[in-house]
Amino acid sequence: MTDQTGPSAADLAAIKANYAFTDDQRAILDHVERVAREVLHPLQEKMDAEEYWPEDLFAKMGELGLLGITAPIEMGGSGQDEFTQALVSEIVSKWNPAVGLSLGAHDNLCLNNLLRNGSEAQKAKYVPGLCSGEIVGALGLTEPGAGSDALGAMATTAVRDGDEYVLNGSKMFITNGPIANLVLVYAKTDKSKGAKGISAFLVETTAPGFKVAQKLDKMGFRGSPTGELLFTDCRIPAENIIGEENTGVSIVMSGLDLERAMVASMCVGMAERALELALEYAQLREQFGKPIARFQMIQSRLAEIYVDVEAARAMSYRALAACVGLPKGGGGRGEIHKLTAASVHYAAEAFNRAVTSANHIHGGSGYMQDTEINRLYRANKLFEIGAGTSEVRKIIISQELLRG
């Protein structure tokens, strides 16, 4: 006869624990929420209007404990996991999307890759500065002719010359590029091997032959510095290669899996802010003698935004949990590859729907460029074309499904 007593108290506690934060996480998130709201949010308008990045902002974020979430405490970090880092990114992005984007490039794309794949000497040299904000990090993968086909079409090369490598090529749409001190750059070290002939390098931007070709003027996420980087006979020490020659593809793939999961969390934070702004405006704006929040069609939009936010959050958290503790070069495994692509695909589309409805609720004011909802609306498109386009994400998901 089937036991009808149901799950035990211990079972229920375990189930609930999957949706609860630890005391350490809660303390970190409460701190980040306060700092982001009080320090970062007031910078939004000026950053957007002027494509402005405060010169001391990374150092200030370091002082406030927003950097190096996954780095060891003895190196100046917080000693937390990737899930906690994504929660921090979610909150920062909610209150200042431009800062959230630059934080992601610095802490995830650069620092996380270094922590997982760098040598002990490389970590000792660069991690403390990345945690303090003294060093600003970036990732150099995309090129003018290599976007969705970033590996196969990569044209940047690195040739060994004694105790140095000589890099030639360019990287495009590089977040933090104009202000970075350290760029994790991917380059071809063996053209005959195609994507399997790629290596990863740590390039200090003071290296001879490095140049910021241009700072780019964007539609959204304005203020977060984005640029084109040039490498013209750029010489770097041979010791700055990460791992062995021609092993960069595993570093790329592990980084891309985590990047997708992190971007999904950014979508959640920004969609949540769109909901807050829509709720506030709907209760303040009056038409026909009453707040527009009392009209059923507005209520329908608000309900749909809420559902999109919470569904995206659930999928984002599931993907992030799968990414925690990814081993060195451990990305690209079927289930994680599929899950991270699905999480960012859904979260990006959910954010698009949410911010579009929220902007519609704002009516004419939502069309004005200096409003916060307009800044969110202009920013949202990046999530459907950055970190892999929606089409590429669907290809990844379907390929993994068909692979069985």
Active site members: 259
135 phi and psi, to 5 degrees?
A: -110, 130
Task: For the chain, give the longest Cα–Cα distance.
Answer: 78
13: burial class by Cβ within 10 Å (0-12, 13-18, 19+)? exposed
| CA torsion through residues 324, 102, 205, 255, sign | positive
User: Is the separation of the CB atoms in 96 and 43 below 8 Å?
Assistant: yes
Question: Long-range contacts for 212-221 (Cβ within 8 Å, ≥24 apart)?
Answer: 212/177, 212/178, 213/170, 215/51, 215/177, 215/178, 216/173, 217/51, 218/51, 219/378, 219/381, 220/97, 220/375, 220/378, 220/379, 220/380, 220/381, 220/382, 221/97, 221/98, 221/101, 221/379, 221/382
- Tell how far CA 60 is from the center of its chain: 20
- What does each C-alpha distance from 278 to 93, 284, 350 come to in angstroms? 17, 10, 15
How far apart CA 382 and CA 378 sit, in angstroms, is 9
Cβ atoms within 10 A of the Cβ of 255, count?
25
Distances (CA, A) of 236 to 166, 263, 336: 7, 31, 34
Rounded to whole angstroms, the Cα distance separating 287 from 296 reads: 13
Distance CA 187, CA 246 (A): 9
Instruction: Look up tokens 């998901």; give the residue.
Output: 397
Q: How would DSSP label each residue in 362-396?
A: HGGGGGSTTSHHHHHHHHTTHHHHSSS-HHHHHHH
Expressed in angstroms, the distance from the first to the final Cα of the chain is 37
- Cα(366)–Cα(286) distance, rounded to whole angstroms? 15
Within its chain, how far is the Cα of 192 from the centroid?
32
State how far the Cα of 134 lies from the Cα of 395, in Å rounded to an integer. Answer: 39
